[in-house]
Amino acid sequence: MKRWENHSLRRYYQVVLQQNLFGEWELLRMWGSLDHAHGGMLCVPVVCVAEGELALSEVARQREKRGYVPTTESTGEP
């Protein structure tokens, strides 16, 4: 799991690479406000762990480019 926060915008973004009940890999993307319960979620299917890790690193690049910083809740495990 990876999590980023943008304190000036009071927003967070979180990504989890996981297998679903059918054994298929998916990238679960979640975002929302640090102050309210409103947010969104998107489940993106990926072919394999390697593709998921590549997609996760692209998300990390985009988030950090937009001013988000990684939190201590982030782990390196898929």
How far from the centroid of its chain's Cα atoms is residue 53's Cα?
11
What pLDDT, in 10s, does the model give residues 41-71? Answer: 999 999 999 999 999 999 999 999 999 999 9
Q: Which residue has the higher pLDDT, 78 or 53?
A: 53
What pLDDT, in 10s, does the model give residues 11-33? Answer: 999 999 999 999 999 999 999 99
pLDDT for res 27: 98
Domain boundaries of the chain, sorted by first residue: 1-46
- Taking every pair of C-alpha atoms in the chain, what is the biggest distance, in angstroms? 40
Contact in structure between 37 and 14 (CB atoms under 8 Å): no
When pLDDT is cut at 50, 70 and 90, the band that residue 78 belongs to is very low
